[in-house]
Amino acid sequence: MLTLTPAPTPPPEMVSGDTMEGLWLEEGRVSFCTDLPRPVPPAGEALVRVRLAGICGTDLAMTRGYFAYEGIPGHEFVGEVVQAPQDPALVGTRVVGTINAACGSCDTCAGGMPGHCPSRTVLGIQGRPGALARYLCLPAGNLHRVSDSMPDEVAVFCELLAAALQVQQQVTIRPTDRVLVVGAGNLGQLLARTLALTGCDLTVVARHASQRDLLLQAGIATLEPDRVGLCNFDFVLEASGSPSGFELALQAVRPRGTIVLKSTYPEPLSLQTGRIVVDEISIVCSRCGPFVPALRLLQDRVDPTPLIQDRLPLSEGERAFELAGRPGALKVLLAPTA
Q: Which CATH number goes with the domain that contains 247?
A: 3.40.50.720
- Do 126 and 236 fall within a single domain? no
- Do 174 and 144 fall within a single domain? no
pLDDT digits (tens, 9 = 90+) for 22-73: 999 999 999 999 999 999 999 999 999 999 999 999 999 899 877 788 999 9
Residue 338: the pLDDT is 65
Domain count across the chain: 2
Inside any domain, residue 49: yes
Average pLDDT over residues 117-144: 96
Confidence of residue 2 (pLDDT cuts 50, 70, 90): very low
- Do 218 and 259 fall within a single domain? yes
Residue 226: the pLDDT is 87
Confidence of residue 9 (pLDDT cuts 50, 70, 90): very low
Helix axes 158-170, 186-196, angle to 10 degrees: 50
Residue range of the domain that includes 85 = 14-157+304-335
Calpha distance 38→50 (Å, rounded): 12
pLDDT digits (tens, 9 = 90+) for 248-272: 999 999 999 999 999 887 777 888 8
Q: With 0-12 CB in 10 A as exposed, 13-18 as middle and 19+ as buried, what is 218?
A: middle
- Do 134 and 181 fall within a single domain? no
- Do 245 and 183 fall within a single domain? yes
Inside any domain, residue 174: yes
Residue 230: the pLDDT is 78
Confidence of residue 231 (pLDDT cuts 50, 70, 90): confident
Whether residue 6 contacts residue 57, with contact meaning beta carbons closer than 8 Å, is answered with no
Q: How many CA atoms lie within 13 A of 309 on its CB side?
A: 21
Residue 229: the pLDDT is 80
- Do 143 and 171 fall within a single domain? no
pLDDT digits (tens, 9 = 90+) for 310-337: 999 999 999 999 999 999 999 999 999 8
User: Which amino acid would we find at residue 30?
Assistant: V
Inside any domain, residue 290: no
Q: With 0-12 CB in 10 A as exposed, 13-18 as middle and 19+ as buried, what is 254?
A: middle
- Do 258 and 309 fall within a single domain? no
Q: What is the largest distance, in Å, between two alpha-carbon atoms of the chain? A: 61
Comparing C-alpha atoms, which of 22, 13, 8 is closest to residue 334? Answer: 22
- Do 132 and 176 fall within a single domain? no
Inside any domain, residue 200: yes
- Do 21 and 148 fall within a single domain? yes
Residue 86: the pLDDT is 87
Mean pLDDT of the chain: 91
pLDDT digits (tens, 9 = 90+) for 144-187: 999 999 999 999 999 999 999 999 999 999 999 999 999 999 99
pTM of the model as a whole: 0.91
